Amino acid sequence: MREQILEILRKDARTSSEMIADLIGSDAETVAKEIAEMEEEGVIRRYKTIIDREKAGDERVFAFIDVRVSPTRGVGFDDVARRIYRYPEVHSVYLVSGDYDLRVVVEGETMKEVAFFVADKLSTLDGVLSTQSNFLLKKYKEDGDIFDDIEEDTGRLLIS
Amino acid sequence: MKPISQTVEHYPPSGIRKFFDIVSQMDDVVSLGVGEPDFVTPWRIREAAINSLERGRTSYTSNWGLLELRRVISRYLEGYSGLCYNPENSVLITVGVSEGMDLTMRTLLNPGDEVIITEPCYVSYKACVELAGGKAVTVEAKKERDFVVDPKDIEAAVTDKTKAVLVSYPSNPTGAVADKKTLREIVDIAVKHDLYIVSDEIYDRLVYDGEHVSVPTLPGAFERTVLLNGFSKAYAMTGWRIGYAAGPTEVIKNMMKIHQYTMLCAPINAQNAAIEAIVNGAKDREDMRREYGRRRRVIVKGFREAGLDCFMPGGAFYAFPNVESTGLTSEEFCEKLLFEHKVAAVPGTAFGACGEGNIRCSYATSIEDIVTAIDRIKAFVAGLK
Protein backbone atom coordinates (compact mmCIF):
# COMPACT_ATOMS: atom_id res chain seq x y z
CA MET A 1 0.00 0.00 0.00
CA ARG A 2 2.73 2.49 1.00
CA GLU A 3 4.77 1.60 -2.03
CA GLN A 4 1.77 2.23 -4.29
CA ILE A 5 0.91 5.55 -2.63
CA LEU A 6 4.51 6.72 -2.90
CA GLU A 7 4.72 5.73 -6.53
CA ILE A 8 1.64 7.81 -7.33
CA LEU A 9 2.78 10.81 -5.24
CA ARG A 10 6.24 10.73 -6.81
CA LYS A 11 4.60 11.33 -10.16
CA ASP A 12 2.08 13.89 -8.92
CA ALA A 13 2.23 15.09 -5.34
CA ARG A 14 -1.11 16.81 -5.76
CA THR A 15 -3.05 13.60 -6.39
CA SER A 16 -5.89 13.64 -3.87
CA SER A 17 -6.37 10.89 -1.29
CA GLU A 18 -9.70 10.13 -2.99
CA MET A 19 -8.03 9.64 -6.37
CA ILE A 20 -5.21 7.56 -4.89
CA ALA A 21 -7.81 5.41 -3.14
CA ASP A 22 -9.67 4.89 -6.42
CA LEU A 23 -6.46 4.09 -8.26
CA ILE A 24 -5.26 1.46 -5.82
CA GLY A 25 -8.64 0.15 -4.72
CA SER A 26 -8.72 1.49 -1.17
CA ASP A 27 -10.71 4.21 0.60
CA ALA A 28 -9.75 7.83 0.99
CA GLU A 29 -9.61 7.71 4.78
CA THR A 30 -7.13 4.84 4.87
CA VAL A 31 -4.96 6.54 2.26
CA ALA A 32 -5.01 9.88 4.11
CA LYS A 33 -4.06 8.13 7.33
CA GLU A 34 -1.21 6.28 5.66
CA ILE A 35 0.11 9.51 4.12
CA ALA A 36 -0.09 11.30 7.48
CA GLU A 37 1.88 8.47 9.07
CA MET A 38 4.54 8.62 6.40
CA GLU A 39 4.83 12.37 6.87
CA GLU A 40 5.13 11.81 10.61
CA GLU A 41 7.84 9.17 10.17
CA GLY A 42 9.78 11.28 7.72
CA VAL A 43 9.27 8.81 4.89
CA ILE A 44 7.63 11.72 3.10
CA ARG A 45 9.81 14.71 3.93
CA ARG A 46 8.01 17.39 2.00
CA TYR A 47 6.31 18.23 -1.31
CA LYS A 48 8.11 20.28 -3.94
CA THR A 49 7.40 21.64 -7.39
CA ILE A 50 9.42 20.68 -10.43
CA ILE A 51 10.25 23.87 -12.28
CA ASP A 52 11.79 24.26 -15.68
CA ARG A 53 14.14 27.01 -14.59
CA GLU A 54 15.05 27.99 -18.09
CA LYS A 55 11.40 28.61 -18.99
CA ALA A 56 10.89 30.43 -15.71
CA GLY A 57 13.68 32.82 -16.76
CA ASP A 58 15.91 31.67 -13.94
CA GLU A 59 19.50 32.29 -15.02
CA ARG A 60 21.23 30.73 -12.06
CA VAL A 61 24.13 28.42 -12.74
CA PHE A 62 24.83 24.97 -11.43
CA ALA A 63 28.08 23.12 -11.14
CA PHE A 64 28.98 19.58 -10.23
CA ILE A 65 32.06 19.67 -8.05
CA ASP A 66 34.02 16.47 -7.64
CA VAL A 67 35.83 16.61 -4.33
CA ARG A 68 38.63 14.35 -3.14
CA VAL A 69 38.72 14.06 0.62
CA SER A 70 41.01 12.40 3.11
CA PRO A 71 38.70 10.59 5.48
CA THR A 72 39.04 11.25 9.21
CA ARG A 73 39.40 8.43 11.69
CA GLY A 74 36.09 7.53 13.29
CA VAL A 75 33.80 9.72 11.20
CA GLY A 76 35.03 8.86 7.70
CA PHE A 77 33.68 11.35 5.17
CA ASP A 78 30.71 12.46 7.25
CA ASP A 79 32.50 15.29 8.94
CA VAL A 80 33.60 16.98 5.71
CA ALA A 81 30.27 16.28 4.07
CA ARG A 82 28.38 17.94 6.92
CA ARG A 83 30.59 21.00 6.74
CA ILE A 84 29.83 21.24 3.06
CA TYR A 85 26.10 20.60 3.00
CA ARG A 86 25.31 23.30 5.54
CA TYR A 87 26.11 26.00 3.00
CA PRO A 88 22.89 27.20 1.36
CA GLU A 89 24.73 27.39 -1.98
CA VAL A 90 25.10 23.63 -1.86
CA HIS A 91 22.24 21.97 -3.66
CA SER A 92 23.17 18.31 -3.10
CA VAL A 93 26.01 16.26 -1.70
CA TYR A 94 26.65 12.60 -2.48
CA LEU A 95 29.34 10.20 -1.35
CA VAL A 96 30.35 8.28 -4.45
CA SER A 97 32.72 5.54 -5.49
CA GLY A 98 35.45 6.17 -8.07
CA ASP A 99 38.21 8.73 -8.48
CA TYR A 100 36.45 11.26 -6.28
CA ASP A 101 34.74 10.90 -2.94
CA LEU A 102 32.09 13.60 -2.80
CA ARG A 103 29.97 14.90 -5.61
CA VAL A 104 28.71 18.32 -4.64
CA VAL A 105 26.16 20.28 -6.64
CA VAL A 106 26.54 24.01 -6.13
CA GLU A 107 24.20 26.71 -7.37
CA GLY A 108 24.86 30.41 -7.70
CA GLU A 109 23.80 33.58 -9.47
CA THR A 110 26.83 33.58 -11.75
CA MET A 111 29.68 31.31 -12.74
CA LYS A 112 32.01 33.64 -10.91
CA GLU A 113 30.04 33.27 -7.69
CA VAL A 114 30.18 29.50 -7.91
CA ALA A 115 33.87 29.52 -8.78
CA PHE A 116 34.64 31.73 -5.81
CA PHE A 117 32.59 29.54 -3.51
CA VAL A 118 34.61 26.53 -4.59
CA ALA A 119 37.95 28.31 -4.29
CA ASP A 120 37.17 30.06 -1.00
CA LYS A 121 35.03 27.64 0.89
CA LEU A 122 35.25 24.13 -0.52
CA SER A 123 38.89 23.70 -1.41
CA THR A 124 40.09 25.33 1.79
CA LEU A 125 38.23 22.95 4.08
CA ASP A 126 40.35 20.65 6.24
CA GLY A 127 40.44 17.23 4.66
CA VAL A 128 39.67 18.43 1.14
CA LEU A 129 42.52 17.35 -1.13
CA SER A 130 41.30 18.58 -4.49
CA THR A 131 38.25 19.78 -6.38
CA GLN A 132 37.17 19.66 -9.98
CA SER A 133 34.32 21.89 -11.15
CA ASN A 134 32.02 20.91 -14.02
CA PHE A 135 29.46 23.55 -14.97
CA LEU A 136 26.04 22.47 -16.05
CA LEU A 137 25.38 23.51 -19.64
CA LYS A 138 22.04 21.91 -20.43
CA LYS A 139 19.66 19.82 -18.42
CA TYR A 140 18.11 16.99 -20.39
CA LYS A 141 16.56 14.93 -17.67
CA GLU A 142 16.43 15.16 -13.91
CA ASP A 143 14.77 12.86 -11.40
CA GLY A 144 12.84 11.11 -14.13
CA ASP A 145 11.58 14.32 -15.74
CA ILE A 146 12.66 15.13 -19.27
CA PHE A 147 13.40 18.84 -19.81
CA ASP A 148 14.33 18.49 -23.42
CA ASP A 149 11.23 19.54 -25.34
CA ILE A 150 10.91 17.37 -28.39
CA GLU A 151 7.66 16.96 -30.23
CA GLU A 152 6.22 13.51 -29.81
CA ASP A 153 3.01 13.56 -31.77
CA THR A 154 1.97 9.96 -31.93
CA GLY A 155 -0.89 10.56 -34.37
CA ARG A 156 -2.94 7.91 -32.62
CA LEU A 157 -6.39 7.36 -34.15
CA LEU A 158 -9.28 8.48 -31.97
CA ILE A 159 -11.30 5.36 -32.66
CA SER A 160 -9.74 2.00 -33.37
CA MET B 1 -15.78 -2.86 -65.67
CA LYS B 2 -16.87 -6.27 -64.51
CA PRO B 3 -18.08 -6.36 -60.92
CA ILE B 4 -15.56 -7.26 -58.23
CA SER B 5 -15.97 -10.32 -56.05
CA GLN B 6 -19.55 -10.66 -54.83
CA THR B 7 -18.38 -11.81 -51.43
CA VAL B 8 -16.22 -8.78 -50.85
CA GLU B 9 -18.48 -6.25 -52.48
CA HIS B 10 -21.33 -7.02 -50.13
CA TYR B 11 -19.18 -7.54 -47.09
CA PRO B 12 -19.96 -4.94 -44.39
CA PRO B 13 -17.10 -2.66 -43.28
CA SER B 14 -15.96 -2.75 -39.67
CA GLY B 15 -18.54 -1.14 -37.37
CA ILE B 16 -15.75 0.15 -35.19
CA ARG B 17 -14.89 2.77 -37.80
CA LYS B 18 -18.37 4.19 -38.00
CA PHE B 19 -17.76 7.16 -35.71
CA PHE B 20 -14.22 7.64 -36.79
CA ASP B 21 -14.94 10.16 -39.53
CA ILE B 22 -17.25 12.22 -37.33
CA VAL B 23 -14.82 12.23 -34.43
CA SER B 24 -11.90 13.37 -36.51
CA GLN B 25 -13.94 16.41 -37.63
CA MET B 26 -14.62 17.53 -34.06
CA ASP B 27 -12.48 19.48 -31.61
CA ASP B 28 -12.06 18.84 -27.92
CA VAL B 29 -13.29 15.25 -28.08
CA VAL B 30 -12.19 12.98 -25.28
CA SER B 31 -11.93 9.55 -26.80
CA LEU B 32 -12.64 6.32 -24.97
CA GLY B 33 -12.79 4.69 -28.38
CA VAL B 34 -9.16 3.84 -28.79
CA GLY B 35 -8.27 0.17 -29.04
CA GLU B 36 -4.56 0.54 -28.50
CA PRO B 37 -2.22 1.55 -25.68
CA ASP B 38 -1.75 5.28 -25.12
CA PHE B 39 1.87 4.57 -24.28
CA VAL B 40 4.55 4.96 -26.91
CA THR B 41 6.59 1.78 -27.45
CA PRO B 42 9.15 1.64 -24.60
CA TRP B 43 12.36 3.37 -25.54
CA ARG B 44 14.58 0.29 -25.22
CA ILE B 45 12.51 -1.37 -27.94
CA ARG B 46 12.55 1.68 -30.22
CA GLU B 47 16.27 2.04 -29.66
CA ALA B 48 16.88 -1.59 -30.56
CA ALA B 49 14.97 -1.04 -33.79
CA ILE B 50 16.94 2.11 -34.62
CA ASN B 51 20.17 0.23 -33.96
CA SER B 52 19.07 -2.60 -36.19
CA LEU B 53 18.35 -0.13 -39.00
CA GLU B 54 21.73 1.53 -38.51
CA ARG B 55 23.36 -1.85 -38.91
CA GLY B 56 21.62 -2.24 -42.20
CA ARG B 57 19.24 -5.02 -41.22
CA THR B 58 16.70 -4.31 -43.90
CA SER B 59 16.40 -7.58 -45.79
CA TYR B 60 13.78 -10.29 -45.98
CA THR B 61 13.91 -12.86 -43.22
CA SER B 62 13.07 -16.54 -43.32
CA ASN B 63 9.38 -16.98 -44.15
CA TRP B 64 8.97 -18.32 -40.64
CA GLY B 65 10.49 -15.19 -39.15
CA LEU B 66 13.95 -14.73 -37.63
CA LEU B 67 15.01 -17.93 -35.93
CA GLU B 68 16.34 -15.91 -33.00
CA LEU B 69 12.90 -14.38 -32.46
CA ARG B 70 11.20 -17.77 -32.69
CA ARG B 71 13.71 -19.14 -30.20
CA VAL B 72 13.16 -16.39 -27.66
CA ILE B 73 9.39 -16.72 -28.04
CA SER B 74 9.66 -20.46 -27.53
CA ARG B 75 11.80 -20.00 -24.41
CA TYR B 76 9.50 -17.26 -23.15
CA LEU B 77 6.41 -19.45 -23.53
CA GLU B 78 8.12 -22.30 -21.76
CA GLY B 79 9.03 -20.09 -18.82
CA TYR B 80 5.69 -18.30 -18.73
CA SER B 81 3.20 -21.11 -19.14
CA GLY B 82 5.28 -24.27 -19.43
CA LEU B 83 4.38 -24.78 -23.09
CA CYS B 84 7.00 -26.35 -25.36
CA TYR B 85 6.88 -25.29 -28.99
CA ASN B 86 9.66 -26.20 -31.37
CA PRO B 87 10.94 -22.87 -32.76
CA GLU B 88 11.93 -24.62 -36.01
CA ASN B 89 8.46 -25.70 -37.08
CA SER B 90 5.78 -24.81 -34.54
CA VAL B 91 6.16 -21.05 -34.20
CA LEU B 92 5.36 -18.70 -37.07
CA ILE B 93 6.02 -14.96 -36.91
CA THR B 94 3.02 -13.09 -38.31
CA VAL B 95 2.06 -9.53 -39.12
CA GLY B 96 0.11 -9.20 -35.88
CA VAL B 97 -2.61 -11.49 -34.60
CA SER B 98 -4.77 -10.14 -37.43
CA GLU B 99 -2.72 -12.02 -39.98
CA GLY B 100 -2.42 -14.99 -37.65
CA MET B 101 -6.21 -15.22 -37.42
CA ASP B 102 -6.63 -15.02 -41.18
CA LEU B 103 -3.97 -17.70 -41.78
CA THR B 104 -5.50 -19.96 -39.15
CA MET B 105 -8.95 -19.83 -40.69
CA ARG B 106 -7.69 -20.24 -44.23
CA THR B 107 -5.63 -23.21 -43.14
CA LEU B 108 -8.28 -24.97 -41.08
CA LEU B 109 -11.45 -24.45 -43.09
CA ASN B 110 -13.04 -26.18 -46.03
CA PRO B 111 -16.00 -24.40 -47.62
CA GLY B 112 -18.98 -24.63 -45.28
CA ASP B 113 -16.98 -25.61 -42.20
CA GLU B 114 -18.31 -23.98 -39.08
CA VAL B 115 -16.41 -22.04 -36.45
CA ILE B 116 -18.05 -21.24 -33.14
CA ILE B 117 -17.42 -17.68 -32.10
CA THR B 118 -18.47 -15.99 -28.89
CA GLU B 119 -19.99 -12.54 -29.25
CA PRO B 120 -19.50 -9.73 -28.38
CA CYS B 121 -16.06 -10.14 -29.89
CA TYR B 122 -13.40 -8.37 -31.85
CA VAL B 123 -14.60 -7.31 -35.30
CA SER B 124 -12.24 -9.46 -37.36
CA TYR B 125 -13.19 -12.95 -36.20
CA LYS B 126 -16.36 -13.39 -38.16
CA ALA B 127 -14.82 -11.77 -41.23
CA CYS B 128 -11.76 -14.06 -41.14
CA VAL B 129 -14.00 -17.14 -40.96
CA GLU B 130 -16.38 -15.99 -43.67
CA LEU B 131 -13.76 -14.67 -46.05
CA ALA B 132 -12.03 -18.05 -45.72
CA GLY B 133 -15.23 -19.69 -46.92
CA GLY B 134 -16.35 -20.89 -43.51
CA LYS B 135 -19.51 -20.26 -41.59
CA ALA B 136 -19.37 -18.29 -38.36
CA VAL B 137 -21.74 -19.68 -35.76
CA THR B 138 -22.15 -17.14 -33.00
CA VAL B 139 -22.84 -17.90 -29.38
CA GLU B 140 -23.75 -15.16 -26.97
CA ALA B 141 -21.69 -14.40 -23.87
CA LYS B 142 -24.31 -13.18 -21.45
CA LYS B 143 -24.32 -10.13 -19.24
CA GLU B 144 -25.43 -12.28 -16.30
CA ARG B 145 -22.17 -14.19 -16.57
CA ASP B 146 -20.11 -11.00 -16.86
CA PHE B 147 -19.62 -11.83 -20.54
CA VAL B 148 -17.89 -15.16 -20.01
CA VAL B 149 -19.45 -17.66 -22.40
CA ASP B 150 -21.40 -20.58 -20.97
CA PRO B 151 -19.70 -23.73 -22.32
CA LYS B 152 -23.15 -25.37 -22.57
CA ASP B 153 -24.06 -22.80 -25.22
CA ILE B 154 -20.93 -23.73 -27.15
CA GLU B 155 -21.79 -27.43 -26.96
CA ALA B 156 -25.33 -26.68 -28.13
CA ALA B 157 -23.91 -24.94 -31.19
CA VAL B 158 -21.75 -27.91 -32.25
CA THR B 159 -22.90 -29.62 -35.45
CA ASP B 160 -21.21 -32.23 -37.62
CA LYS B 161 -19.84 -29.32 -39.66
CA THR B 162 -18.11 -27.67 -36.74
CA LYS B 163 -14.38 -27.47 -37.28
CA ALA B 164 -13.14 -25.13 -34.60
CA VAL B 165 -14.06 -23.07 -31.61
CA LEU B 166 -12.58 -19.62 -31.20
CA VAL B 167 -11.70 -18.48 -27.70
CA SER B 168 -10.45 -15.03 -26.78
CA TYR B 169 -9.86 -14.03 -23.19
CA PRO B 170 -9.22 -11.42 -21.92
CA SER B 171 -11.89 -10.13 -24.24
CA ASN B 172 -12.04 -7.14 -26.51
CA PRO B 173 -14.63 -5.48 -26.16
CA THR B 174 -15.87 -6.62 -22.76
CA GLY B 175 -12.68 -6.96 -20.70
CA ALA B 176 -14.01 -10.31 -19.47
CA VAL B 177 -11.55 -12.94 -18.28
CA ALA B 178 -12.62 -16.59 -18.34
CA ASP B 179 -11.96 -18.73 -15.29
CA LYS B 180 -10.02 -21.98 -15.55
CA LYS B 181 -13.11 -24.14 -15.04
CA THR B 182 -14.96 -22.56 -17.95
CA LEU B 183 -11.93 -22.88 -20.22
CA ARG B 184 -11.48 -26.53 -19.23
CA GLU B 185 -15.09 -27.22 -20.10
CA ILE B 186 -14.61 -25.60 -23.50
CA VAL B 187 -11.50 -27.71 -24.08
CA ASP B 188 -13.41 -30.85 -23.04
CA ILE B 189 -16.09 -30.04 -25.61
CA ALA B 190 -13.41 -29.57 -28.26
CA VAL B 191 -11.83 -32.90 -27.34
CA LYS B 192 -15.19 -34.70 -27.30
CA HIS B 193 -16.15 -33.42 -30.76
CA ASP B 194 -12.61 -33.39 -32.14
CA LEU B 195 -12.52 -29.64 -32.81
CA TYR B 196 -9.62 -27.29 -33.22
CA ILE B 197 -9.33 -24.47 -30.73
CA VAL B 198 -8.16 -21.06 -31.88
CA SER B 199 -7.10 -19.01 -28.87
CA ASP B 200 -6.45 -15.31 -29.33
CA GLU B 201 -4.50 -14.35 -26.23
CA ILE B 202 -3.30 -10.92 -27.32
CA TYR B 203 -4.41 -9.39 -23.99
CA ASP B 204 -2.89 -12.16 -21.84
CA ARG B 205 -0.44 -9.80 -20.16
CA LEU B 206 -3.15 -7.35 -19.24
CA VAL B 207 -4.88 -9.28 -16.46
CA TYR B 208 -5.47 -7.47 -13.19
CA ASP B 209 -6.90 -9.96 -10.71
CA GLY B 210 -5.26 -13.35 -10.64
CA GLU B 211 -3.35 -15.15 -13.35
CA HIS B 212 -4.04 -15.57 -17.03
CA VAL B 213 -4.90 -19.14 -18.02
CA SER B 214 -3.40 -19.96 -21.40
CA VAL B 215 -5.73 -22.34 -23.23
CA PRO B 216 -3.11 -24.76 -24.66
CA THR B 217 -1.87 -25.49 -21.11
CA LEU B 218 -5.16 -27.22 -20.29
CA PRO B 219 -5.36 -31.02 -20.52
CA GLY B 220 -6.11 -32.18 -24.05
CA ALA B 221 -5.75 -28.71 -25.55
CA PHE B 222 -2.14 -28.49 -26.70
CA GLU B 223 -2.37 -30.76 -29.73
CA ARG B 224 -5.52 -29.06 -31.06
CA THR B 225 -4.93 -25.42 -30.25
CA VAL B 226 -3.55 -22.64 -32.40
CA LEU B 227 -2.28 -20.02 -29.98
CA LEU B 228 -2.26 -16.49 -31.40
CA ASN B 229 -0.43 -13.72 -29.66
CA GLY B 230 1.68 -10.69 -30.36
CA PHE B 231 3.42 -7.63 -29.07
CA SER B 232 0.86 -4.90 -29.75
CA LYS B 233 -0.92 -4.68 -26.43
CA ALA B 234 1.59 -5.89 -23.86
CA TYR B 235 4.50 -3.85 -25.23
CA ALA B 236 2.56 -0.96 -26.80
CA MET B 237 3.67 -1.98 -30.28
CA THR B 238 0.46 -1.83 -32.32
CA GLY B 239 1.91 -0.03 -35.33
CA TRP B 240 4.84 -2.42 -35.68
CA ARG B 241 2.46 -5.17 -36.74
CA ILE B 242 4.17 -8.12 -35.17
CA GLY B 243 2.75 -11.27 -33.66
CA TYR B 244 3.08 -15.01 -33.72
CA ALA B 245 1.17 -18.24 -34.04
CA ALA B 246 2.18 -21.36 -32.15
CA GLY B 247 0.53 -24.72 -32.41
CA PRO B 248 0.55 -28.21 -33.86
CA THR B 249 3.35 -28.50 -36.43
CA GLU B 250 1.02 -29.68 -39.21
CA VAL B 251 -1.21 -26.63 -38.85
CA ILE B 252 1.60 -24.10 -38.42
CA LYS B 253 3.53 -25.54 -41.39
CA ASN B 254 0.50 -25.08 -43.59
CA MET B 255 -0.19 -21.61 -42.27
CA MET B 256 3.39 -20.82 -43.23
CA LYS B 257 2.59 -21.78 -46.83
CA ILE B 258 -0.08 -19.12 -47.15
CA HIS B 259 2.09 -16.66 -45.26
CA GLN B 260 5.04 -17.21 -47.62
CA TYR B 261 2.93 -16.52 -50.69
CA THR B 262 0.96 -13.58 -49.30
CA MET B 263 3.17 -11.86 -46.74
CA LEU B 264 6.59 -13.43 -47.39
CA CYS B 265 7.70 -12.42 -43.90
CA ALA B 266 6.89 -9.99 -41.14
CA PRO B 267 8.89 -6.72 -41.34
CA ILE B 268 12.44 -7.40 -40.21
CA ASN B 269 12.69 -4.24 -38.16
CA ALA B 270 9.60 -5.15 -36.17
CA GLN B 271 11.04 -8.62 -35.66
CA ASN B 272 14.24 -7.19 -34.24
CA ALA B 273 12.26 -4.86 -31.99
CA ALA B 274 10.20 -7.82 -30.80
CA ILE B 275 13.36 -9.66 -29.74
CA GLU B 276 14.26 -6.76 -27.48
CA ALA B 277 10.70 -6.61 -26.15
CA ILE B 278 10.61 -10.23 -25.16
CA VAL B 279 14.16 -10.39 -23.80
CA ASN B 280 14.27 -7.10 -21.87
CA GLY B 281 10.77 -5.66 -21.90
CA ALA B 282 9.27 -7.30 -18.82
CA LYS B 283 9.59 -4.28 -16.54
CA ASP B 284 8.16 -1.83 -19.03
CA ARG B 285 5.33 -4.25 -19.69
CA GLU B 286 4.57 -4.63 -16.00
CA ASP B 287 4.68 -0.86 -15.39
CA MET B 288 2.07 -0.34 -18.10
CA ARG B 289 -0.10 -3.14 -16.78
CA ARG B 290 -0.11 -1.64 -13.30
CA GLU B 291 -1.08 1.72 -14.73
CA TYR B 292 -4.01 0.26 -16.71
CA GLY B 293 -5.13 -1.66 -13.64
CA ARG B 294 -5.42 1.58 -11.70
CA ARG B 295 -7.26 3.47 -14.40
CA ARG B 296 -9.66 0.56 -14.63
CA ARG B 297 -10.82 1.12 -11.07
CA VAL B 298 -11.30 4.84 -11.64
CA ILE B 299 -13.35 4.41 -14.82
CA VAL B 300 -15.57 1.63 -13.44
CA LYS B 301 -16.29 3.62 -10.29
CA GLY B 302 -17.11 6.60 -12.49
CA PHE B 303 -19.66 4.67 -14.56
CA ARG B 304 -21.30 3.34 -11.44
CA GLU B 305 -21.49 6.84 -9.96
CA ALA B 306 -23.04 8.01 -13.21
CA GLY B 307 -25.76 5.43 -12.66
CA LEU B 308 -24.61 2.94 -15.29
CA ASP B 309 -24.23 -0.74 -14.45
CA CYS B 310 -20.66 -1.83 -15.03
CA PHE B 311 -18.96 -5.05 -14.03
CA MET B 312 -15.31 -4.91 -13.03
CA PRO B 313 -13.42 -6.17 -16.09
CA GLY B 314 -10.61 -8.57 -15.24
CA GLY B 315 -8.40 -7.86 -18.23
CA ALA B 316 -7.60 -6.02 -21.47
CA PHE B 317 -8.20 -2.25 -21.29
CA TYR B 318 -11.91 -1.97 -21.85
CA ALA B 319 -14.88 -1.39 -19.61
CA PHE B 320 -18.26 -2.40 -20.99
CA PRO B 321 -20.90 -0.44 -19.10
CA ASN B 322 -24.59 -1.04 -19.64
CA VAL B 323 -26.66 1.91 -20.82
CA GLU B 324 -30.11 0.30 -20.93
CA SER B 325 -31.24 2.26 -17.87
CA THR B 326 -31.08 5.43 -19.96
CA GLY B 327 -33.70 4.11 -22.38
CA LEU B 328 -31.31 4.65 -25.29
CA THR B 329 -29.84 2.05 -27.59
CA SER B 330 -26.07 1.68 -27.57
CA GLU B 331 -25.80 3.54 -30.82
CA GLU B 332 -28.10 6.39 -29.74
CA PHE B 333 -26.20 6.70 -26.50
CA CYS B 334 -22.85 6.91 -28.26
CA GLU B 335 -24.10 9.38 -30.85
CA LYS B 336 -25.65 11.73 -28.32
CA LEU B 337 -22.67 11.41 -26.03
CA LEU B 338 -20.40 12.37 -28.88
CA PHE B 339 -22.44 15.24 -30.32
CA GLU B 340 -23.69 16.71 -27.08
CA HIS B 341 -20.83 16.01 -24.69
CA LYS B 342 -17.86 15.26 -26.92
CA VAL B 343 -16.94 11.89 -25.54
CA ALA B 344 -16.30 9.10 -28.05
CA ALA B 345 -17.10 5.50 -27.20
CA VAL B 346 -17.97 2.53 -29.39
CA PRO B 347 -21.48 1.00 -29.30
CA GLY B 348 -21.48 -2.62 -28.16
CA THR B 349 -23.32 -3.55 -31.33
CA ALA B 350 -20.11 -3.03 -33.31
CA PHE B 351 -18.98 -6.30 -31.71
CA GLY B 352 -22.10 -8.33 -32.45
CA ALA B 353 -25.83 -7.82 -32.10
CA CYS B 354 -25.77 -9.08 -28.52
CA GLY B 355 -23.59 -6.10 -27.60
CA GLU B 356 -26.80 -4.05 -27.67
CA GLY B 357 -27.28 -2.25 -24.39
CA ASN B 358 -23.57 -1.82 -23.73
CA ILE B 359 -20.81 0.49 -24.89
CA ARG B 360 -17.09 -0.18 -25.14
CA CYS B 361 -14.95 2.32 -23.30
CA SER B 362 -11.20 2.03 -23.51
CA TYR B 363 -9.18 3.14 -20.50
CA ALA B 364 -5.96 3.11 -22.47
CA THR B 365 -6.02 6.86 -22.10
CA SER B 366 -4.64 9.28 -19.54
CA ILE B 367 -6.22 9.49 -16.12
CA GLU B 368 -6.97 13.18 -16.74
CA ASP B 369 -8.93 12.28 -19.86
CA ILE B 370 -10.74 9.51 -18.02
CA VAL B 371 -11.77 11.94 -15.29
CA THR B 372 -12.96 14.48 -17.87
CA ALA B 373 -14.87 11.81 -19.79
CA ILE B 374 -16.54 10.54 -16.63
CA ASP B 375 -17.60 14.07 -15.64
CA ARG B 376 -19.15 14.56 -19.07
CA ILE B 377 -20.88 11.17 -18.97
CA LYS B 378 -22.31 11.95 -15.54
CA ALA B 379 -23.72 15.23 -16.85
CA PHE B 380 -25.09 13.46 -19.92
CA VAL B 381 -26.81 10.67 -18.01
CA ALA B 382 -28.18 13.07 -15.38
CA GLY B 383 -29.62 15.23 -18.17
CA LEU B 384 -31.49 12.26 -19.63
CA LYS B 385 -33.58 11.72 -16.52
**Does B82 lie in the same domain as B37?**
no
- Minimal CA separation from A123 to chain B, in Å: 41
Examine residue A16 and state whether it is found in any structural domain, yes or no. yes
Examine residue B328 and state whether it is found in any structural domain, yes or no. yes
pLDDT of amino acid A12? 94
Domain that holds residue A123: 61-137
- Minimal CA separation from B170 to chain A, in Å: 18
| Domain tally, chain B | 2
A57 touches chain B (CB under 8 A): no
Q: Which residue of B has its CA nearest to A153?
A: B40
| Domain tally, chain A | 2
Contact A158 B23 (CB under 8 A): yes
A158 touches chain B (CB under 8 A): yes
B25 pLDDT tier (thresholds 50, 70, 90): confident
**Does B137 lie in the same domain as B29?**
no
**Does B274 lie in the same domain as B209?**
yes
A159 touches chain B (CB under 8 A): yes
Contact B298 A23 (CB under 8 A): yes
**Does A91 lie in the same domain as A121?**
yes
A149 pLDDT tier (thresholds 50, 70, 90): confident
- Minimal CA separation from A149 to chain B, in Å: 16
**Does B372 lie in the same domain as B265?**
no
ipTM over 0.85: no
B352 touches chain A (CB under 8 A): no
Examine residue A48 and state whether it is found in any structural domain, yes or no. no
Tens of pLDDT, residue by residue over A122-142, are 999 999 999 999 999 999 999
pLDDT of amino acid B326? 97
CA angle B322, B347, B176 (to 5 degrees): 55
- Minimal CA separation from A20 to chain B, in Å: 9
Contact B31 A23 (CB under 8 A): no
A25 touches chain B (CB under 8 A): yes
Contact A159 B16 (CB under 8 A): yes
Q: Which residue of A has its CA nearest to B312?
A: A25
B21 pLDDT tier (thresholds 50, 70, 90): confident
A156 pLDDT tier (thresholds 50, 70, 90): confident
Q: What average pLDDT does chain B have?
A: 96
B380 pLDDT tier (thresholds 50, 70, 90): very high
**Does B376 lie in the same domain as B268?**
no
The mean per-residue pLDDT over the stretch B32-54 comes to 96
Residue A103 sits in a domain whose CATH number is: 3.30.70.920
List chain B residues with CB under 8 Å of A25.
297
Tens of pLDDT, residue by residue over B65-115, are 999 999 999 999 999 999 999 999 999 999 999 999 999 999 999 999 999
Contact B38 A156 (CB under 8 A): yes
- Minimal CA separation from B157 to chain A, in Å: 31
